[in-house]
Amino acid sequence: MAKPAQDTSVHEKLGLASAEALTLHLPLRYEDETRLTRLRDARPGLPVLVEGIVTQAEVVFRPRRQLLANLTETGSDAPFHLRMLNFYPSQQASLKPGVRLRLFGEVRPGFFGDEMVHPRWRVVGANAPLPDRLTPIYPTVAGLSQNRIQKAVAATLANADLSDTLPESLRVRLALPAFDEAVTRLHAPTPEDSLTALESREHPAWRRIKFDELLTQQLSLRLHTRERNRQIAPVLASDSGLADRFAARLPFPLTSAQRRVLQEIRADLGKSHPMHRLLQGDVGSGKTCVAALAALSAVGSGHQAAVMAPTEILAEQLYLKFREWLEPLGIRVVWLAAALKGKVKKEAMAEISSGQAAVAVGTHALFQDEVAFQSLALAIVDEQHRFGVEQRLALRGKGVDGNILPHLLMMSATPIPRSLAMSYFADLDVSVIDELPPGRTPVATRTVGNAKRDQVIARLKDYCLDGAQAYWVCPLIEESEKIDLKAAMDAHAELVAALPGLRIGLAHGRMKSSEKGAVMTAFKAGELDILVATTVIEVGVDVPNASLMVIEHAERMGLAQLHQLRGRVGRGSRESTCLLLYYDPLSDTARQRLHIIREHTDGFVIAREDLRLRGPGEFLGARQSGLPMLRFADLETDQDLLEQARNAADHLLRHDPEAVRRHLQRWLPRGSDYLHA
């Protein structure tokens, strides 16, 4: 391929892998400079291209220093002005009387007549030709002008290899334009192209680009799965009867959904390549119980299991639950977190490395360099979206030896909408617990303005005097001058003063683990009536007698977090209520969130609405998770293209590996952008 003769620094400034990548640096929008509007016909509020002769230009102070140029045109004496609030001496020097200017911008009424403030302008000759294409406006960075990007892109397009990577039969069947046609059209559309279709990305050229991007993602994820299937993992074919003994001790039978996903997990564990499965289920659906049964397959086969959670309080809750369930079966469970120090930490690490501890539960401390497992066969990661790729890989890297990887079970109580699962988790097998255990009571959700705070506190008192327990959740630990949120410490002091007859505890992330654990234990034992807490109690806390939750500043929290918090109540036989205490004024988005959480209890419905409001990047926490975001395709509006890309990926991998190679070479010049663990 010939090397493009363009400014090679442009792609570097834009963070692109190569100059050729400029072909896919596509415009954000377009401006129509293909037709001139007379100065007298320019209407305020609309971007237009106008032309005029400079009659006067001067620096004025009205009230600040600015450059003002007066323009006129043949046959009109209506005043028109160019106003520059920031300008260079070279710009001032070029604005001489008699110079012809062409300006593109939005007209607005000024004190001395119509004007353009900081339009794009240039000096032109008489009868200078107009462009025959719409002007592309590209994403840019500081110090990089549109003109420079436009020239670099044009030079790249003139020399780049734009041959098609799709087989002609596939392209025709899907009614997609050729790649060179699509790219050229998007960089330089004609005036006949619909601006609306271009900017809404519904134009056929955009559909081709979005299809190619989705196909890249699907191909990469499937290649990742293929590579994983070539790796070796321990075969965990027997639990040595531990599962039956475990089930016999449970005070409840497994739901049919739990039995179904457990069968799927066991089938994977019995294979010689690593399981890579996502277990998702709504709050309280019993994922932890399934995870414990999966761990028994590792232990019963003579290996170890590790359970990792993102926060210490969640990890500790998991540790207590696993210990309660497994130690009566003779299985040693140890706890490892950053808070452990000295002799206690050394003893825990020694038990893990010797194999004496069959199950290790902890935080990110589990994958630190100094932690060694004797025979790790299964890694269980809870709330997996909160961990980065490197962290998950580090835990998997502690397998039996360098050539044998552990199986990986990831869990999430944030249901993944189907479009996301098809796209970002296409290399995962997904199991869904779509049934809640019997006995879970529906939680009534109410929104309450802070003006009724006293009534909420009175209701709280009645609840607790009737024998129930309650949570009062705040977003911050202590008052912040920058963010006016009610703090947990202040709320605790307020409730202690208002409810002198009740026992009120406080838990937050800055407390020592021992202090926090003591408070949580006391609340669970019924020794506290009210637990005031930050969102540390979002997941993992199970107190059946807690039937009321008050969430302060609910308008500041996301849907997933509100749903998780609400899941802490409704775990017993009492009717349960969640009060969302909000502060005015509410933004439109906050109002929508509160309406959604009030009207819906199904986590999958809430997740779909959350995706609609936030988009995939925010929904998945993409920055910390390492998941690649789509630049062009939209999972909500382009589901038909996603389905087509999935089918095409399967077909090309089976029948046209050369097309796969060419396609990935174009879209993934760095090789592994879409691959993740």
pLDDT digits (tens, 9 = 90+) for 161-172: 999 999 999 999
Q: 36-45, 354-363, 627-636: which has the minimum mean pLDDT? A: 627-636
- How many other β-carbons are positioned within 10 Å of the β-carbon of residue 589? 11
Query: Residues with Cβ < 8 Å from 83, sequence gap 6 or more?
Result: 66, 67, 68, 110, 115, 116, 117, 118
Residue 23 contacts residue 94 (beta carbons within 8 Å): no
Q: Which two tokens stand for residue 624?
A: 């910390």
Q: Is the pLDDT of residue 75 over 50?
A: yes
| pLDDT at residue 274 greater than cutoff 60 | yes
Does 443-600 match 201-439+638-677 at the fold level?
Answer: yes
In the predicted model, is pLDDT for residue 9 greater than 50?
yes
Residue pair 226/274 in contact (Cβ under 8 Å)? The answer is: no
Domain ranges of the chain: 9-30+137-200, 35-130, 201-439+638-677, 443-600
Q: Give the span between the Cα atoms of 108 and 117, in whole angstroms.
A: 8
Are the C-beta atoms of residues 37 and 48 closer than 8 Å to each other?
yes
What does pLDDT average to over the chain? Answer: 86
Q: Which fold has domain 443-600?
A: Rossmann fold (3.40.50)
Q: Which two tokens stand for residue 209?
A: 């680009």
Q: What is the mean pLDDT of residues 618-640?
A: 69
CATH superfamily of 35-130: Nucleic acid-binding proteins (2.40.50.140)
Residue 620 pLDDT > 70: no
pLDDT number for residue 623: 43
Give start and end residues of each alpha helix (H) in 195-249.
195-199, 204-230, 242-249
Quote the pLDDT of residue 483. Answer: 52
**Percent of the chain topping pLDDT 90:** 48
The overall longest dimension of the chain from CA atoms, in Å, is 98
Cβ atoms of 52 and 95 closer than 8 Å: no
Q: Is the dihedral of CA 270, 276, 281, 283 positive or negative?
A: positive
**Mean pLDDT value of segment 257-285:** 91
- Distance, CA of 519 to CA of 525 (rounded, Å): 10
User: In terms of Cα–Cα distance, which of 403, 304, 395, 320 is closest to 353?
Assistant: 304
**Beta-bridge partners for 277:** 409, 429
Q: Whole-model pTM?
A: 0.71
Q: Which CATH architecture has domain 201-439+638-677?
A: 3-Layer(aba) Sandwich (3.40)
> Does residue 219 carry a pLDDT above 70?
yes
Calculate the CA dihedral of residues 537, 540, 546, 550 and round it to 10 degrees: 30
